[in-house]
Amino acid sequence: MSKGGRLTTVLGLFLVVVGLVVWAVAALLTPGVPGGVVNFTNTQATGQPVHLTVQTVGSIGFGAHPSWVSYLVKDPKSGKWVHDTSWELPAHTLIDMTVYQYDSGSPLRNQEWGQVMGTVGDSATLNGTNFTSYNSNTGGGVGHTFAIPTLNISVPLVGVSGNPCAVAPCHFNSPHNIETFSFKTPGAGSYNWQCFVPCALGYLFGNGGAMSTQNYMGGELEVVN
């Protein structure tokens, strides 16, 4: 092969490698393909509050990433737990949310995430007791947050101690905390929600994997009129 030919081959291979690296980084940073959208728009009479029930688990125990932390949602029609974090909700409607928290927690890196913000009364309940902020240096710490940044909503999800549930959906015989809070949906649009606790063990700064993949630690509120 001529010198020019060899140079072209080396340059070509180099470009292929660069391309692969760019592709791999983009694939790591891009959320996975969204799954289904769970519809909450016709589960109640117009104007009545929507009941939205989720659970957070330390390891989902099935699917492509059984060891990943995840949210699951209770399908309002079938009553079954499903692994979808995109929810269609009616606009300008009160959402009564219940979170069954089955994961352990730890002290927060940013104490701000211990505040309850943007919910009705800027408060939530933890096992029946009202609270407005949680000191993550006490008790079970905080495992996750449920946050909708564009609506300034954030709720700390208090961690449990003891033998955690390993396969979702988890049931009441595993240690859990129950939190409730309400918020009002805005006008129609798409609103991201996500957890802000770097809870993806084994990933860079805890923010890869489940933290950056749809249907695990984040999703969408599809608000419709």
147 or 223, CB closer to Cu ion? 147
144 touches Cu ion (CB under 5 A):
yes
Closest CB 8 distance from Cu ion, rounded Å:
48
151 Cβ contact partners less than 8 Å away, ≥ 6 residues apart? 118, 183, 186, 191
Residue among 76, 78, 57 at smallest CA distance from 68: 57
Of 165 and 217, nearer to Cu ion (C-beta) is 217
Which one, 59 or 93, has the nearer CB to Cu ion? 59
Amino acid at 15: L
Closest distance between Cu ion and the C-beta of residue 194, in Å?
A: 8
Question: By CB under 5 A, is residue 199 in contact with Cu ion?
Answer: yes
**How many residues contact Cu ion, by CB under 5 A?**
5
Query: Which stretch, 81-89, 166-174, 191-199, 201-209, contacts Cu ion (CB under 5 A)?
Result: 191-199
Cα radius of gyration rounded to whole Å, the chain: 21
Q: How far is the CB of 94 from Cu ion (least distance, A)?
A: 25
Phi, psi of 84 (to 5 degrees): -130, 130
User: Given the complex with Cu ion, which of 50 and 157 has the nearer CB atom?
Assistant: 157
For 58-174, strand residue ranges (E) read 70-74, 81-82, 86-90, 94-101, 124-126, 129-131, 142-148, 153-158
Residue 58 CB, nearest approach to Cu ion (Å): 10
220 vs 145: CA distance, rounded Å:
15
Is the Cβ of residue 168 or residue 199 nearer to Cu ion in the bound state? 199
Give yes or no for a cis peptide into 90 (omega within 30° of 0).
no
217 lines the binding site for Cu ion (CB under 5 A)? yes
* CA 197 – CA 57 distance, rounded (Å): 14
In whole angstroms, how close is the CB of 148 to Cu ion at the nearest point?
Answer: 14
Positions touching Cu ion (CB under 5 A) are 144, 195, 197, 199, 217
